[in-house]
Structure 1
């Protein structure tokens, strides 16, 4: 496995995604749904972290990175909704 690809520290990038997944897992109780969006996103990001860590081309890294970024962006409104609901209840 290459740890650097054209100046990219792939291990660090994938480690950051794994750290984000850890945070999602620790906070997943806030999303009490049967289909927990935090756990779903965490699973998706862990897959992207594996792709990035094992990437052999820049295209592999950028595709996985874009997909991870898109998943996080789609998740942000759910976080805002929970935050707004908590603020209203205080």
Structure 2
């Protein structure tokens, strides 16, 4: 009788081990799927952030064009350069904030742009005469315009990976 109980116990033990193995395999598969989903979500979030940087760059370029290369004294009347400078300042902060999420190349270009814009933002905000407004406006416009291809390239890369 004792040997029958021992055999039944051994069979139950083996059955429990098999069941534990099967459940462990299911758990590994579920964890793998969860990790893939997490990676996909991170990738999508980064793509959205890059798209936001691209659209914000286009928007601020449009705002700066009011004091950019094509403006003249007549068109500049009534334009509040301090407001434009404030928008560029907010944009520079946004770019700087987002730069940490991207490649080293983009991060360097973003930080470089932010540093290049600092003096121009302040100068545009304080500009009084037409020549100064146009000069600083053009400088800001061209710096942001030169940054646009890098943003577009990064945006395209993220979309291709998605």
Q: TM-score, normalised by structure 1?
A: 0.83
* 5+ long unaligned stretches in structure 2: 1-75
Matched residue, 2:125:
53
* Counterparts in 2 of 1:60 and 1:82: CA distance versus 1, 3 Å: same
CA distance in 2, matches of 1:78, 1:34: 7
| 1:79 maps onto 2:148 in alignment | no
* Counterparts in 2 of 1:19 and 1:34: CA distance versus 1, 3 Å: closer
- State the number of aligned residues: 86
| 1:42 maps onto 2:77 in alignment | no
Q: TM-score, normalised by structure 2?
A: 0.48
Determine helix, strand or coil for the equivalent of 1:36: helix
Q: Which has the higher helix share?
A: 2
Detail structure 1 runs of 4+ shifted over 2 Å in the superposition.
Answer: 5-8
| 1:8 maps onto 2:79 in alignment | yes
Q: Which has the higher strand share?
A: 1
Work out which of the two has the higher radius of gyration on C-alpha atoms and give 1 or 2.
2
Q: Which moved more, 1:24-33 or 1:14-23?
A: 24-33
Name which of 84, 88, 92 aligns with 1:21: 92
Superposed CA RMSD = 2.0
* Counterparts in 2 of 1:31 and 1:45: CA distance versus 1, 3 Å: farther
CA distance in 1, matches of 2:107, 2:157: 19
1:31–1:37 Cα contact (<8 Å) kept: no
